[in-house]
Amino acid sequence: MSTHDHIPVLLGPTVDALLHNPDGIYLDCTFGRGGHSRAILERLSPVGRLLALDRDPQAVQAMTGVLDARFQGYRSAFADLERALDAMGVPKVDGVLMDIGVSSPQIDQAERGFSFRKDGPLDMRMDPQAGESAADFLARATARDISEVIKHYGEERFAVQIAAAIVARRQERAITTTLDLAQIVAGAVRTREPGQDPATRTFQALRIHVNQELAQLEQGLNAAFRRLNIGGRLAVISFHSLEDRIAKQFIEKLANPKSQQDARLRKLPLPEPKPLMKKLARIKPDAQECERNPRARSSVLRVAEKLAEVAHG
């Protein structure tokens, strides 16, 4: 797959919402194959800058194809964006974009182990050099641990049955390929929504667990807020309810701090806590985009603007 074959989701609305100052410095935390980054560069002025991060080595390699003096790429998970910005000598930015989850090239390459439709090693790591693979996790984890991961991250109602089937199979032989796991799951899932593969939720859950995606998102959101300039924009694209809930709650907490106060404090004659962010938009793809790119169907874009720093003292 070439760099340009990946179709970025919600491209126009994202760039429109994020890029409020063409002279500013922007951070694309999830470069992928560079679709959003290239669109941002097209809108930047000659003095604007774009920084990009990714922990996937193939995405980092794709960064070398961006031949623009305003662009700088760096290999990093977005949870570590502050360390990356320090390494690039940038204290603050005017916009941060996070496109959460797995990218189309990662899914489409069987050797990455993300797809239940293509046979490949059961890996699922976004950075193949960090952490344990899905196969390693399934080889060592208890049935209870496997069940909790599949239930929590996949919202799978047959999690107990799937975990039991995995443990039973690994006593016969190791589970090392994606189709191995998909077949085990298919045998344990009794019913499924029309059009959805029985393995969808289990693969999603294992991918989130292996890559610690929800913890990464929470850390990244907090880091992004700290590094945004006043008036800077945060744009988060998510693809399922667990991610979207984290982004929604993070923005809500900062946009409506009074709602986070203890009920007893709200009754006292204290100064109103000032909002630190303003909610700007919640955008879903239109019918035309969903038809052109079916993977966009579940996506949600949330955008907020930073109003103030956290008060200390």
24 labeled binding residue: no
Residue 54 structure tokens: 């990714």
Give residues with Cβ within 8 angstroms of 247, minimum separation 6.
100, 217, 221, 236, 238, 302
203 labeled binding residue: no
Which of left, alpha, beta for 231 (phi over 0: left; psi -120 to 50: alpha)?
left
What's the rounded Cα separation, in Å, for the pair 146 and 166? Answer: 9
Structural element, H or E, at residue 94:
strand 93-99
54 labeled binding residue: yes
Q: Give the β-pairing of 25-28 and 71-75.
A: unpaired
- The answer to whether 274 touches 134, Cβ cutoff 8 Å, is no
96: which strand partners? 27, 234
35 labeled binding residue: yes
- Burial (CB count within 10 angstroms: exposed 0-12, middle 13-18, buried 19+), residue 251: buried
99 labeled binding residue: yes
Annotated binding-site positions for S-adenosyl-L-methionine: 34-36, 54, 78, 99, 106
Annotated binding-site positions: 34-36, 54, 78, 99, 106
